[in-house]
């Protein structure tokens, strides 16, 4: 009986979907990308000045190792665990007195470098997103700069840049997308048909109003990077007698119905102050890029959308930062919606400093992991890592119901939510049809 009592007392400390907040000290930097790893921990990439870092944590956010990389003054923006248990990281080199180039690094599971590659262009390229593809290679999205002599404003033209790379880091092909003005590529994902979906921003300078418009830019390609279609999205506002659109695309994911979910920021004119303010912007399209619905989220000040993912219940989780809510100048902003984009709940995280959320992912326990940065006054930024439960709580609230007398066992899982058969001396969780759970261990 004493053994059973000890187990029950430990349930709140070891329950599913618990939350915590961690500020990674010892290294300065902004957390750019996070992913849950197969061991239940997390991998984070961050960048600060001339150094970039990979940070591996356990499931509680405690650091297992941190590796610093400064081969080419590179900046990291995206990390993903690869099928061999290692990691692929993309960004760009940032050498003094030279143009940047797309940079890719492959490591083993301990963060030790296996190879690095630089992909030079003409006037400067930057990588912002990487994903391992089904053939074992990689797809990278970013921005390429060239000189457009037809540009009426006489500045360097930037285009969306897509590079396909084999498993050894060798370039297989590259494609650019855009017009005579600026286009930026932010995120890429391989689609179920073997092609790619890309999100970014398209700039258009209106020569009549002399206003610089920005549109969320969605591009679909085939498996060779050949464009199949593209669409522009954004909310238009009336400024005097002229129309203006400011909308930036940051994140895209293919949804289970074959369509796409897009997140970013869209500006609107505040009727009370007369100021232009940003709202978190969410657009759902069908598989052909046709808009099905759009929603904006935020308050009376600037609110920015950075990352979106479809959740297991068919809804969406969004992170970014908010100036409208919370206790600081900016706070991390977490929004949960249903499948139609209707807001279910929102949470903010942070203190009196500027706190920014940049990436979010649903975890195997049904909670969420967010990475970003916190900016203390008169100090360098630090990586900010937040784990929440399924309701967005970083401080867990436990409701232990009274078990029903006629309940039935539905499944047995381990602490990561994976189906298992109970073994001696290993904790397991029984889930019942009345919603109750019990954590047990068979002690031999």
Give the pLDDT of residue 65.
96
Both 415 and 378 in one domain: the answer is no
Give the pLDDT of residue 387.
98
What burial letters (b/e) apply to 348-383, b meaning 16+ CB within 10 Å? bbbeebbbbbbbbbbbbbebbbbbbbbbeeeeebbb
pTM of the entire structure? Answer: 0.82
| Within a domain: 8 | no
Both 303 and 272 in one domain: the answer is yes
Both 92 and 68 in one domain: the answer is yes
Both 441 and 343 in one domain: the answer is no
The residues facing 319 across adjacent strands are 307, 334
In the block, tokens 């400093």 appear at 353
| Within a domain: 346 | yes
pLDDT by residue (tens digit) across 208-249?
A: 655 677 889 999 999 999 999 999 998 775 655 555 667 889
Both 311 and 442 in one domain: the answer is no
Query: What backbone torsions phi and psi does residue 345 show, to the nearest 5 degrees?
Result: -160, 160
Instruction: Write the Ramachandran bin of 136: left for phi over 0, alpha for psi from -120 to 50, otherwise beta.
Output: left
Number of domains comprising the chain = 2
| Within a domain: 403 | no
| Within a domain: 402 | no
Query: Smallest Cα–Cα separation from 127: which of 191, 52, 57, 204?
Result: 52
CA angle (231 as vertex; 227, 237 as ends), nearest 5: 155
Read off the tokens for 110: 């301990």
The residue segments making up the domain with residue 420 are 408-444
Read off the tokens for 11: 């349930």
pLDDT by residue (tens digit) across 260-286?
A: 999 999 887 665 666 778 899 999 999
Interatomic CA distance for residues 303 and 332, integer angstroms: 10
The residues facing 304 across adjacent strands are 321
Query: Smallest Cα–Cα separation from 144: which of 169, 119, 167?
Result: 119
Cβ atoms of 69 and 29 closer than 8 Å: no
In the 8-state DSSP scheme, what is residue 70? -
Both 357 and 423 in one domain: the answer is no
Interatomic CA distance for residues 301 and 276, integer angstroms: 9
Cβ atoms of 282 and 267 closer than 8 Å: no
| Within a domain: 401 | no
Give the pLDDT of residue 297.
96
Both 154 and 293 in one domain: the answer is yes
Q: Please list the helix, strand and coil fractions of the chain in percent, rounded to the nearest 5, in that order.
A: 5, 55, 40
Cβ atoms of 215 and 201 closer than 8 Å: yes
pLDDT by residue (tens digit) across 319-352?
A: 999 999 998 789 999 999 999 999 999 999 998 8
Read off the tokens for 284: 């759902």
| Within a domain: 225 | yes
Both 239 and 178 in one domain: the answer is yes
| Within a domain: 3 | no
Both 231 and 357 in one domain: the answer is yes
CA angle (136 as vertex; 184, 78 as ends), nearest 5: 35
Both 237 and 315 in one domain: the answer is yes
Decide: helix, strand or coil at residue 11: helix
In the block, tokens 């949804």 appear at 255
| Lowest pLDDT segment from 45-54, 264-273, 381-390 | 264-273
Both 77 and 130 in one domain: the answer is yes
């Amino acid at each position: 009986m004493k053994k059973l009592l000890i187990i029950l007392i430990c349930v709140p400390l070891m329950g599913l979907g618990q939350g915590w907040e961690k500020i990674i000290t010892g290294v300065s930097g902004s957390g750019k990308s996070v992913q849950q790893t197969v061991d239940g921990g997390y991998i984070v990439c961050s960048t600060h000045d001339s150094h970039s870092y990979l940070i591996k944590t356990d499931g509680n956010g405690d650091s297992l190792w941190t590796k610093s990389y400064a081969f080419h003054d590179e900046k990291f923006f995206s990390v993903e665990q690869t099928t061999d248990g290692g990691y692929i990281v993309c960004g760009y080199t940032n050498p003094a007195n030279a143009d940047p180039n797309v940079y890719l690094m492959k490591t083993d599971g301990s963060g030790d470098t296996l190879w690095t590659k630089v992909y030079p262009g003409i006037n400067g390229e930057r990588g912002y997103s990487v994903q391992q593809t089904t053939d074992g290679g990689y797809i990278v999205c970013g921005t390429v700069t060239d000189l457009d002599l037809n540009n009426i404003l006489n500045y360097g033209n930037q285009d969306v840049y897509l590079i396909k790379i084999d498993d050894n880091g060798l370039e297989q092909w590259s494609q650019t997308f855009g017009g005579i003005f600026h286009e930026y590529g932010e995120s890429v994902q391989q689609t179920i048909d073997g092609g790619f979906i890309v999100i970014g921003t398209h700039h258009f300078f209106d020569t009549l109003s002399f206003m610089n418009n920005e549109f969320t830019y969605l591009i679909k390609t085939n498996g060779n990077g050949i464009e199949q279609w593209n669409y522009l999205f954004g909310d238009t506002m009336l400024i005097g007698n002229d129309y203006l659109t400011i909308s930036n695309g940051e994140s895209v994911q293919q949804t289970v119905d074959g369509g796409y979910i897009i997140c970013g920021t869209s500006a609107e004119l505040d009727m009370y102050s007369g100021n232009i303010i940003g709202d978190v912007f969410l657009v759902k399209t069908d598989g052909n890029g046709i808009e099905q619905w759009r929603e904006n989220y935020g308050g009376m000040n600037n609110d920015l959308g950075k990352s979106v993912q479809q959740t297991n219940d068919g809804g969406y989780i969004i992170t970014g930062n908010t100036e409208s809510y919370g206790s600081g100048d900016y706070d991390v902003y977490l929004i949960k919606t249903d499948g139609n984009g209707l807001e279910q709940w929102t949470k903010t995280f942070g203190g009196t400093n500027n706190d920014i959320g940049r990436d979010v992912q649903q975890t195997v326990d049904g909670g969420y992991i967010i990475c970003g940065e916190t900016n203390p006054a008169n100090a360098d930024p630090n990586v900010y890592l937040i784990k929440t439960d399924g309701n967005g709580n970083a401080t867990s609230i436990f409701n232990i119901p009274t078990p029903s007398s006629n309940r039935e066992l539905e499944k047995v899982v381990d602490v990561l939510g994976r189906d298992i058969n109970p073994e001696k001396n290993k904790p397991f969780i029984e889930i019942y049809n009345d919603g109750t759970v019990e954590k047990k261990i068979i002690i031999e």
